[in-house]
């Protein structure tokens, strides 16, 4: 669903709520307290006098709403605006800034910022399997982000840059993560944690860390040039390079600058979308499903990461 379809499908709050209930409880609403499937839908008036849809458990009498215990809970924003924000985020290939979201859905920058982070959190994969495996070729490379404007001088500029390690399966998933520097101590733990040891081939540049970490019979070093070798193998790291370049264009075009503290969550948002680039029509539903499964991210927890 794109933004226009989302706006049409969820023209009213009740329509959005019905869709959310279906997403959260595909087999029917169950009590959040005792998991009993027998619940009554009731309508009350909230504190502000607005109509409030609740459920009452027939067993334990618990009152809960469709958003209780989810990311939407305690949000003053209507679901229709949440849905529009999700559509905007899953649709924009290079990412979208909180400022743009604020303008589109009509809310304050602060609200949009919080909203975007919560959606971004839901888009990140927590227990993704390792990259690679039998028959899969993985490309690994590093890149540098930003830095130019922070200080003066080449050395200082390089110090201010953020280093990102990227791994990409050819025709598959990606993994991007900030690293302290390009030394073995920074790169090795990520390879150990994220690269399947049964991967068919691993293509990297001639960085010494890779030579020590990856078994020579699986390792291909490349000079970044893409060519078809006589044995049928394509050299180069074009897959990961194109992910890097799309991400960088996103920074320039959408975010302008992004906080160093949050860059990993931007990277995982980007990977999430990049890995599903061929599933565009389903992205909205996929994101909504993730939101249904995630624990709420409080403002306190979010800002704790900064201060
Ligand atoms: Zn109950």
Q: Which of 103-107, 114-118, 177-181, 257-261 has the lowest mean pLDDT?
A: 257-261
Q: Where are the domains of the chain?
A: 137-275
* pLDDT at position 307: 31
Per-residue pLDDT band for 141 (boundaries 50, 70, 90) equals very high
User: Mean pLDDT throughout 36-57?
Assistant: 86
Per-residue pLDDT band for 282 (boundaries 50, 70, 90) equals confident
Per-residue pLDDT band for 300 (boundaries 50, 70, 90) equals low
Report how far ligand 1's centroid is from the alpha carbon of 31 (Å). 5
Q: Which of 174, 181, 179 is nearest to 264 (CA)?
A: 179
Q: Fill in the DSSP letter of residue 205.
A: -
Q: According to the CATH classification, is domain 137-275 in 3.30.420?
A: yes
Hey, is 276 helix, strand or coil? coil
Report how far ligand 1's centroid is from the alpha carbon of 38 (Å). 8
Per-residue pLDDT band for 95 (boundaries 50, 70, 90) equals confident
DSSP 116-152: HHHHHHHHS-SSPPPB--TT-EEEEEEEEE--TTTSS
Model-level pTM? Answer: 0.80
Report how far ligand 1's centroid is from the alpha carbon of 299 (Å). 29
Report how far ligand 1's centroid is from the alpha carbon of 61 (Å). 6
Exposure pattern of 226-257 as b/e (b: 16+ CB <10 Å)? eeeeeeeeebbbbbbbebbebbbebbeebbee
Report how far ligand 1's centroid is from the alpha carbon of 34 (Å). 4
Position 257 pLDDT exceeds 80: no
Report how far ligand 1's centroid is from the alpha carbon of 58 (Å). 7
Position 177 pLDDT exceeds 70: yes
Report how far ligand 1's centroid is from the alpha carbon of 32 (Å). 6
Report how far ligand 1's centroid is from the alpha carbon of 293 (Å). 20
């Amino acid at each position: 669903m794109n933004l226009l379809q989302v706006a049409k499908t969820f023209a009213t709050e009740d329509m959005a709520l019905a869709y959310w209930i279906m997403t959260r409880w595909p087999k029917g609403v169950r009590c959040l307290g005792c998991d009993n499937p027998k619940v009554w839908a009731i309508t009350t008036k909230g504190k502000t006098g607005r109509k409030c849809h609740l459920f009452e458990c027939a067993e334990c009498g618990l009152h809960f709403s469709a958003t209780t215990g989810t990311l939407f809970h305690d949000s003053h924003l209507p679901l229709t605006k949440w849905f529009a924000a999700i559509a905007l985020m899953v649709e924009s290939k290079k990412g979208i800034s909180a400022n743009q979201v604020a303008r589109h859905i009509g809310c304050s920058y602060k609200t949009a910022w919080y909203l975007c982070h919560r959606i971004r959190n839901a888009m990140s994969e927590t227990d993704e399997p390792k990259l690679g495996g039998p028959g899969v070729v993985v490309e690994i490379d590093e890149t540098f982000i930003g830095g130019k404007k922070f200080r003066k001088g080449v050395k200082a500029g390089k110090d201010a840059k953020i280093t990102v390690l990227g791994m990409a399966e050819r025709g598959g998933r990606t993994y991007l993560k900030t690293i302290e520097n390009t030394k073995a101590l920074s790169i090795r733990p990520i390879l150990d944690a994220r690269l399947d040891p049964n991967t068919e081939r691993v293509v990297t540049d001639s960085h010494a860390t890779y030579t020590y970490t990856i078994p020579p019979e699986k390792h291909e070093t490349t000079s970044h040039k893409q060519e078809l070798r006589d044995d049928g193998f394509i050299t180069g790291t074009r897959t990961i390079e194109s992910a890097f370049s799309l991400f960088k264009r996103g920074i320039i075009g959408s975010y302008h600058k992004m906080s160093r503290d949050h860059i990993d969550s931007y990277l995982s948002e980007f990977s999430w979308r990049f890995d599903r680039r061929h599933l565009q029509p389903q992205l909205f539903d996929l994101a909504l499903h993730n939101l249904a499964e995630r624990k709420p991210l409080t403002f306190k927890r979010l800002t704790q990461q900064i201060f």
